[in-house]
Chains A and B, each alone.
Chain A
Amino acid sequence: MKFGVVVFPGSNCDQDCFYALNNVLEVPVNYIWHRNQNLEDYDCIVLPGGFSYGDYLRPGAIARFSPVIESVVNYVEKGGLVLGICNGFQILLEAGLLPGAMIKNESLKFVCRDIYLRVESTESPFTEDCEEGEILSMPVAHKDGNYFIDEENLIKLKERDQIVLRYVSSDGTENETGNPNGAIDNIAAITNRQRNVLGMMPHPERSVEKLLGSGSEDGLKLLLSAVSFIKERG
């Protein structure tokens, strides 16, 4: 089994993703430089958070033209697993690998805090070890996490069970306080139709050790889910 964490100029959370996979989950993981186009041996590609290309133009708009993304598109077509976290999610959207787009947080401010998520679908390799309706806690840290998709395509997302995680309050209800950025329908994470690509704004890699922050290890659940999916797939 091998995970790959892509590094773009400006990625910040690549080292955190690496650490979570290597030191906490203890799975083999490599860095993949953005100019590298060989993704053959990888079981899962992670596009980490950060500010690729400074978020200049639009978050992810320049990174999506990196050589590695071309390979990611092929990799996805062949059924490879891809996890896009925060900036990674933004890159997947700009590259058209996931539907919709990100705009600025409703507050117009960067928001870094712990939030609650409700598992809406366990049909994804990243949530198959979770229970539907389960509440998870992990941090967000972004200025452009306000997910947008038009009416017609939002209906399709719902019909096809592509919404994987929603923002909720601590008691599991959807409301304004639970949503940190104004995302439509409180959407925090979505998957593509094939279900091999997941994009999420919250940071699971920051939620793998009791020692840090709020002490939640819920991020581990998502990563371990993927690990067991890969093992089962053989």
Chain B
Amino acid sequence: MSSGQPSYKEYGLSRKEYEQIKNILSRKPNNLELALFGVMWSEHCSYKHSKKTLRLLPTEGKQVVVGPGENAGVVDIGDDLGIAMKVESHNHPSAVEPYQGAATGVGGIIRDIFTMGARPIGLLNSLRFGEFDQDRVPYLFNNVISGIADYGNCVGIPTVGGEVYFEGAYAGNPLVNVMCVGVVKKNEVMLGTAGQPGNIVLAAGAATGRDGIQGASFASEELGEDTEEDRPAVQVGDPFLEKLLIEATLEAFSTDAVIGIQDMGAAGLTSSSCEMAARSGVGMELDLLSLPLRDENIEPWEIMLSESQERMLIVCEEERVDEIKSVYNKWDLEAEVIGRVTDDGQLRIKKGKDTLAEVPARFLADDAPEYDPPAKRPEYLDKVENFSHHQLDLEKNKNYSNILLKLISRPNIISRSWIYEQFDHMVRNNTVLLPGSDAAVLRIKGTDKAAALAMDGNGRYCYADPREGARLSVFEAARNVVCSGACPLAVTDCLNFGSPENPEIFWQFKESVKGIGEACRELGISVISGNVSFYNESRSQAVYPTPVIGMLGVIDDVNNYTDRAFKNPGDIIVLCGKTKGHLGSSEYLKMIQEDENVYYPPSIDCEKELKLHELILDAVKSNIINSAHDCSDGGLATALSECCLSGSLGAKLDIKIDGMPPEAYLFGEDQSRIIISLNERDLDDFKMLARRYNIDLTLLGHVCSKPRLVIGNYIDLFLEEMNDKWSKNFADLPS
């Protein structure tokens, strides 16, 4: 630490911000105070570049119990219950130390959920890496999966779904987004409030050490050349301690002694204390001498900025301190009184008798300046075109069977069983639908209901058209829960972008947010929580704009759910929705493309999409369909392959392709299409429903016991050879 004049730049503050601080305090801030502002006003904590834009999102619906602003969002699912839901990113730590980066990402998001009073019931993850054969990618991938597996499994929360993508744009900047959901009684939701002056503040859980010092500011900068040396900025997780923390905290809640609680996440003690105080319009005084420390020599600024994992800040009345302490002690955890709530609105940091820092809590927590960065439409968008079928090599005799085999062996398409078998996806006895379908389905004990969960994004679509791509991502996520029989209810979004100081990237950000907002409004659902991760770029190559949508849907009767596997030989296979053969930005095009051109993603007819949802949900409720799977990456042929391979059944499809090249029909990624299978006797009822909702149906063929996929004269493959390619372990992929 330099002595003498504190340099605001060292703390990541701009001159303007420094002047603002001087103004409010009516004096120069000292070093410690500068550190507090530096971290609270960093991008990661204050969202200063994104706050204004995020207001475009619909966050208030009548089912929203808690919207953005608390540790997690909560939505009403009926039966007096709410579901708490949130997604977090841990991109930068995972780039440096993938195992711990991913593990602590899981730990952090779980804390956000149980801090709301909710019992965590499921985890999902959305992961993006460079191409599988690129340098370092297998290392990052393997360690991220291990990190997530080891932490989630130890803590006893099932990891039930998610997505993984490999795309050159993410080389050097992996995206690790983790989502958690929990169940809470509506009248038992806990908030991060400090209550009245006189209340006592406790720190519970792990001791504080030097972990992740300035991790927040670190995330606000691009990854430079010597990042490997930055290891001290990486936090190490202890899932065992977290498990104890979950049980102790939920038990503490049941005593009714806890007034408010917040987990110490980014900017640890600083953010939790000033935010809790600010929410209640009160102040907080903390004595660092009382805080359990791991390191004797740790300095006050290190204590305040420490991101040691598995710590909670708790507020309770004085009379109930012992009660809370004894609950934590029972679980072999420490819970120490470290301060009290005051009436002067200041966050006061003391060390025994000495006051080390004193700043208005609200100013620190809420009044970081909001920026409206310049946004400029990127020039590359002028070159984006529509992909025309004429650009395909239209030589007639293509071996579409071989093409399909190649497509389903791609890392973006192959079976994810190698991944999810490393996750305990059954613990807690709620997993109705095993991973490998379009959404995860978890029953809600004590009700007839189930929650359907999915995470979806498409960076390629968003790069070609940020607004439309974001919109498509929301609809894709909604369609996935619909395919399990659930009505989409709420969204948590993770927005992964490059630097907001680059006007072109900020333009992508704004457009994506607009797209998400539009789609949510069209679906009639709210965004109840979310996360923004900026600065995902290195050496000025930014990731594709990648909004990731976490979707929650509710199934009213858990016995009426669907999955994508074909069930019975003889079942009729029907395609709902129209095929136009859109190949722009598709996985197939990526496979065959030789130029660097960017092509528009498919468009979506929102009205048709909504009607499609109603059709499927109605059909599931009436119990007339046996399987449902939407067409996305790899198009219709890929989706059909997945239905066959999941069900270990063949299919014979009498398709004659007319009016477009076969590959456009087979591999195009037109939106709003769902493949269903049903018993012949239910076909008329289904046709009637389709007429009511005005959805085009194409009878494709039927399910066979013979293990072969036959699509007209175009594709004829044995399931065995398909499975050989599709079920390949990621471990066996060439790297």
Which of A13, A51, A112 touches B240 (beta carbons < 8 Å)? Answer: A51
Interface residues of B in 129-175 (CB under 8 A from A): 149-150, 153-156
- Which residues of the other chain, B, contact A16 by a CB distance below 8 angstroms? 427-429
Give the complex CA separation of A139 and B429 in angstroms.
Answer: 11
Does A12 have its Cβ within 8 Å of any Cβ on chain B? yes
Does A157 have its Cβ within 8 Å of any Cβ on chain B? no
Of B268-276, B400-408, B416-424, B464-472, the segment with at least 4 beta carbons within 8 Å of chain A is B416-424
Q: Are B154 and A139 in contact (CB under 8 A)?
A: no
Does B10 have its Cβ within 8 Å of any Cβ on chain A? no
Q: Are B244 and A10 in contact (CB under 8 A)?
A: yes
Q: Are B239 and A141 in contact (CB under 8 A)?
A: no
Does A19 have its Cβ within 8 Å of any Cβ on chain B? yes
Q: Distance (Å) between the CB of A87 and the closest chain B CB?
A: 11
- Which residues of the other chain, B, contact A98 by a CB distance below 8 angstroms? none
Size bin of chain B's contact surface: 20 to 34
Q: Are A56 and B240 in contact (CB under 8 A)?
A: yes
Q: Distance (Å) between the CB of A1 and the closest chain B CB?
A: 22
Minimum CB distance partner of A19 in chain B = B429
Question: Given A112-B426, A212-B429, are A54 and B238 neighbors across the interface (CB < 8 Å)?
Answer: yes
Give the complex CA separation of A51 and B246 in angstroms.
Answer: 14
Give the complex CA separation of A15 and B428 in angstroms.
Answer: 7
Q: Are A110 and B429 in contact (CB under 8 A)?
A: no
- Which residues of the other chain, A, contact B420 by a CB distance below 8 angstroms? 112
Which of A53, A111, A206, A211 touches B421 (beta carbons < 8 Å)? Answer: A111
Does A145 have its Cβ within 8 Å of any Cβ on chain B? no
Does B111 have its Cβ within 8 Å of any Cβ on chain A? no
Question: Given A212-B429, A213-B431, are A112 and B331 neighbors across the interface (CB < 8 Å)?
Answer: no
Q: Are A112 and B156 in contact (CB under 8 A)?
A: no
Give the complex CA separation of A19 and B425 in angstroms.
Answer: 17
Interface residues of B in 423-441 (CB under 8 A from A): 423-432, 434
Does A220 have its Cβ within 8 Å of any Cβ on chain B? no
Which of A54, A109, A205 touches B429 (beta carbons < 8 Å)? Answer: A205
Which of A20, A51, A205 touches B156 (beta carbons < 8 Å)? Answer: A51
Q: Are B443 and A9 in contact (CB under 8 A)?
A: no
Does B690 have its Cβ within 8 Å of any Cβ on chain A? no
Does A113 have its Cβ within 8 Å of any Cβ on chain B? yes
Give the complex CA separation of A112 and B558 in angstroms.
Answer: 23
Question: Given A16-B427, A55-B154, A112-B423, are A211 and B432 neighbors across the interface (CB < 8 Å)?
Answer: yes
Q: Distance (Å) between the CB of A231 and the closest chain B CB?
A: 25
Q: Distance (Å) between the CB of A40 and the closest chain B CB?
A: 23
Interface residues of A in 12-71 (CB under 8 A from B): 12-13, 15-16, 19-20, 49-51, 53-56
Q: Are A141 and B426 in contact (CB under 8 A)?
A: yes
Does A173 have its Cβ within 8 Å of any Cβ on chain B? no
Question: Given A113-B421, A211-B432, are A10 and B243 neighbors across the interface (CB < 8 Å)?
Answer: yes
Question: Given A12-B156, A19-B429, A110-B424, are A214 and B434 neighbors across the interface (CB < 8 Å)?
Answer: yes
Does B332 have its Cβ within 8 Å of any Cβ on chain A? yes
Interface string of B315-329 (1 = CB under 8 A from A): 000000000000000
Q: Are B239 and A54 in contact (CB under 8 A)?
A: yes
Q: Are A10 and B425 in contact (CB under 8 A)?
A: no
Does B386 have its Cβ within 8 Å of any Cβ on chain A? no
Give the complex CA separation of A112 and B160 in angstroms.
Answer: 11
Q: Distance (Å) between the CB of B447 and the closest chain A CB?
A: 13
- Which residues of the other chain, B, contact A9 by a CB distance below 8 angstroms? 240, 243-244, 331-332
Give the complex CA separation of A49 and B558 in angstroms.
Answer: 26
Interface centre among B155, B156, B429, B445 (most CB of A within 10 A): B429
Question: Given A10-B243, A212-B430, are A110 and B153 neighbors across the interface (CB < 8 Å)?
Answer: yes
Q: Distance (Å) between the CB of A145 and the closest chain B CB?
A: 12
Give the complex CA separation of A19 and B156 in angstroms.
Answer: 15
- Which residues of the other chain, B, contact A212 by a CB distance below 8 angstroms? 426, 429-432, 443
Does B735 have its Cβ within 8 Å of any Cβ on chain A? no
- Which residues of the other chain, A, contact B241 by a CB distance below 8 angstroms? 54
Tell me the dominant secondary structure on chain B's binding face. Answer: loop
Interface string of B708-727 (1 = CB under 8 A from A): 00000000000000000000
Q: Are A213 and B240 in contact (CB under 8 A)?
A: no
- Which residues of the other chain, B, contact A205 by a CB distance below 8 angstroms? 429
Question: Given A12-B243, A55-B154, are A141 and B432 neighbors across the interface (CB < 8 Å)?
Answer: no
Give the complex CA separation of A106 and B706 in angstroms.
Answer: 35
Give the complex CA separation of A213 and B149 in angstroms.
Answer: 19
Q: Distance (Å) between the CB of B127 and the closest chain A CB?
A: 17
Which of B240, B421, B427 touches A54 (beta carbons < 8 Å)? Answer: B240
Question: Given A20-B429, A141-B426, are A10 and B559 neighbors across the interface (CB < 8 Å)?
Answer: no
- Which residues of the other chain, B, contact A206 by a CB distance below 8 angstroms? 426, 429
Q: Distance (Å) between the CB of B442 and the closest chain A CB?
A: 10
Interface string of A185-226 (1 = CB under 8 A from B): 000000000000000000101100101111000000000000
Give the complex CA separation of A143 and B420 in angstroms.
Answer: 14
Minimum CB distance partner of A52 in chain B = B240
Give the complex CA separation of A110 and B420 in angstroms.
Answer: 10
Q: Distance (Å) between the CB of B590 and the closest chain A CB?
A: 30
Question: Given A54-B239, A211-B432, A212-B430, are A112 and B244 neighbors across the interface (CB < 8 Å)?
Answer: no
Question: Given A12-B156, A109-B422, A110-B153, are A53 and B240 neighbors across the interface (CB < 8 Å)?
Answer: yes
Give the complex CA separation of A159 and B60 in angstroms.
Answer: 69
Interface centre among B150, B426, B431, B443 (most CB of A within 10 A): B426
Give the complex CA separation of A89 and B431 in angstroms.
Answer: 24
Q: Are A211 and B156 in contact (CB under 8 A)?
A: no
Question: Given A205-B429, A206-B429, are A110 and B423 neighbors across the interface (CB < 8 Å)?
Answer: yes
Chosen A-B contacts, 8 in total, with CB atoms closer than 8 Å, are A50-B156, A51-B153, A53-B240, A109-B149, A112-B420, A212-B430, A213-B431, A213-B432
Q: Which residues of B are in contact with A by a Cβ distance under 8 Å?
A: 149-150, 153-156, 238-241, 243-244, 331-332, 420-432, 434, 443, 445, 558-559
Q: Which 10 A-B pairs have the closest CB atoms?
A: A54-B240, A12-B156, A51-B154, A141-B424, A16-B429, A110-B422, A112-B424, A113-B421, A206-B426, A109-B422
Additional 8 contacts, C-beta under 8 A, given A10-B244, A110-B424, A206-B426: A10-B243, A12-B155, A12-B156, A54-B239, A112-B420, A206-B429, A211-B443, A211-B558
